Amino acid sequence: MMRRRQKLRYSKCALAVAGTILGAACQVPAPTTAPQPAAIGPRLVPAPASLVTAAGAPFRILRTTSVFVDTTSAEVRSIGEMLASLIRRPTSFPVAVAPIGVPSIGAIILRLAPDRTALGEEGYELNVTSDSVRLVANRPAGLFRGIQTIRQLLPADIESDMGLDRVDWPIPALRIVDQPRFAWRGAMLDVARHFFTVREVEQYIDILALYKMNVLHLHLSDDQGWRIVINSRPKLTAMGSLTQVGGGPGGFYTQQDYQDIVRYAQARYITIVPEIDMPGHINAGLAGYPELACSTRPPGLYSGTDVGWSTLCVDKEETYAFVDDVVREISAMTPGPWFHMGGDEVQTLTVEQYVRFVERVQVIVNKYGKKMIGWEEITKARLNPTTLAHQWKSDSATAALAYGSKLILSPAPKAYLDMKYTASTELGLHWAGYVEVRDSYDWDPAAYMKGVTERDIVGVEAPMWSETLRNISAVEYLAMPRLPAIAEVGWTPQTARSWESFRVRLVTHEPRWRYLGINYYRSPQLPW
């Protein structure tokens, strides 16, 4: 799963943006206190809905251990193979994937149970005894989430991609019944302000998978860059991809690249949500198609960070032909049900013009079989009940509830991963304040906004805007450890969460991040 990055171990510090903070993040780990058996449960992030540790001896992975699955399902077999290959590398054990039915003492068994509908799309039940590890789910996604739990229950050395001398690979005896609180546990990556390669996006997906997140929203266009090829509008990337914030070379995804990302995410039960931001944040698009602007001045490329000034000319009919082309091509490449139209920060249109545009885009998005999402500003328009309003800065999103629409919550003072941790953080912005790890963790989505209850929310999402982020190491520094905090906000029932428990569990993941070459911030709020 996350193996290819091992060579970067420790050396990534040198790649990171220079500075004392990143230097500090790359020190050799202080010895951690070895977790006692009773503390094994609390290592999991996100915390499971229910966990009971058992008194018996742990299960031990041995040279003879196999992963047994229903091999008639290619999907289940491939999940079994992911778990087996995770175990093979550091242990050097052969770990076969074999059909259920052959003698299975000392086995790890992954099974789909069509009668366990109460487990839902992503729930699972895990029973570990000294004899076996039994993982059951109603749907394959539940098995995939469950193998992340098995992974986190194993010693952190499981993340090494080199054979280790270690001989003992215990999994504590326990029983877990688990499923997510919210169906939407997302992260957003802005590949427009700075471009990130396919491999870098996959690295980010690997982190989401480890923390049971299930949506990656890609912000594919903005004033500084258009990052995806649209065959019917070739100048979008030919012109619009050539720069980024600060004037670097930019970049774009071919349609093949995009589909590779979609497939990589799909194998980890993560849905890609494409966003084309419109009618504002569109300068890079206008660079190739200046006739879609109302002004006669050619737009040219832009590498600054101001917002709110560019717009499509929403009164021109050809604008809607353009939107149709873009939505059609992207929808055809996107198996997930969503298309995000942006819609934020438009300062140069009247409300009537803006509303008319949003309503027409909604029709186009629905025509291509997708449900629309837009930032909270879209609630000025008449929304379909299937449309989602994406809250980020105010309570204006609540207007969506009158249309039967639901909300995604990304409140900037909690969930914007591009906010600085403190005044001395080199990377990031701070228009929404400083966001320490506890700020990201310690809130309840169902109590965050007046008049918004649990039922009104599909879930939470952690946006990563990239104005200040020149490489993926910088992205990771801001994501870790706030992204696992948001993952737990989205997954774990409110009653099963506490900051005191989270901070202790979270730091036990540090050795994993080091093995995986993931950069992170050593928050003084955490007991490293």
Positions in the binding site for ligand NGO (CB under 6 A): 307, 344-345, 375, 392, 416, 418, 429, 465, 467
Cα dihedral across residues 451, 457, 462, 465: positive or negative: negative
Contact 463, 392 (CB under 8 A): yes
Contact 340, 275 (CB under 8 A): yes
Longest dimension (CA), the chain: 76
Q: Which of 392/520 has CB closer to ligand NGO? A: 392
- In sequence order, which residues have a C-beta less than 8 Å from that of residue 80 and are 6 or more positions away? 67, 68, 69, 97, 110
Catalytic residue at 345?
Answer: yes
Q: Which helix (H) or strand (E) holds 44?
A: none
Q: Which helix (H) or strand (E) holds 176?
A: strand 174-178
Q: Which of 42/248 has CB closer to ligand NGO? A: 248
CB-based closest residue to ligand NGO: 465
Minimum CB–partner distance for residue 66 and ligand NGO (Å): 48
Give the other-Cβ count within 10 Å of 27's Cβ.
11
Minimum CB–partner distance for residue 191 and ligand NGO (Å): 12
Minimum CB–partner distance for residue 305 and ligand NGO (Å): 8
Give the other-Cβ count within 10 Å of 347's Cβ.
10
511 closest CA partner among 30, 15, 17:
30
Give the other-Cβ count within 10 Å of 88's Cβ.
15
Distance set, CA 352 to CA 319, 355, 356, 408 (Å): 16, 5, 6, 25
Phi-psi region of 100 (alpha: psi -120 to 50; beta: other; left: phi over 0): beta
Minimum CB–partner distance for residue 500 and ligand NGO (Å): 30
502 closest CA partner among 526, 522, 476:
526
Query: What is the Cα–Cα distance from 74 to 281, expressed in whole angstroms?
Result: 42
Q: What is the 3-state secondary structure (H, E, C) of 334-357?
A: CCCCEEEEECCCCCCCCHHHHHHH
339: β partners? 372
Q: Which of 172/186 has CB closer to ligand NGO? A: 186
184: β partners? 459
Minimum CB–partner distance for residue 467 and ligand NGO (Å): 6
Q: Which of 182/392 has CB closer to ligand NGO? A: 392
Contact 114, 76 (CB under 8 A): no
Q: Which of 429/446 has CB closer to ligand NGO? A: 429
Catalytic, out of 75, 81, 200, 345 = 345
Q: 87: which 2 tokens?
A: 């175990």
Minimum CB–partner distance for residue 155 and ligand NGO (Å): 38
Minimum CB–partner distance for residue 87 and ligand NGO (Å): 40
Give the other-Cβ count within 10 Å of 256's Cβ.
11
E strand spans, 399-501: 406-409, 457-464
Minimum CB–partner distance for residue 479 and ligand NGO (Å): 14
Which residues have a catalytic role annotated?
Answer: 345
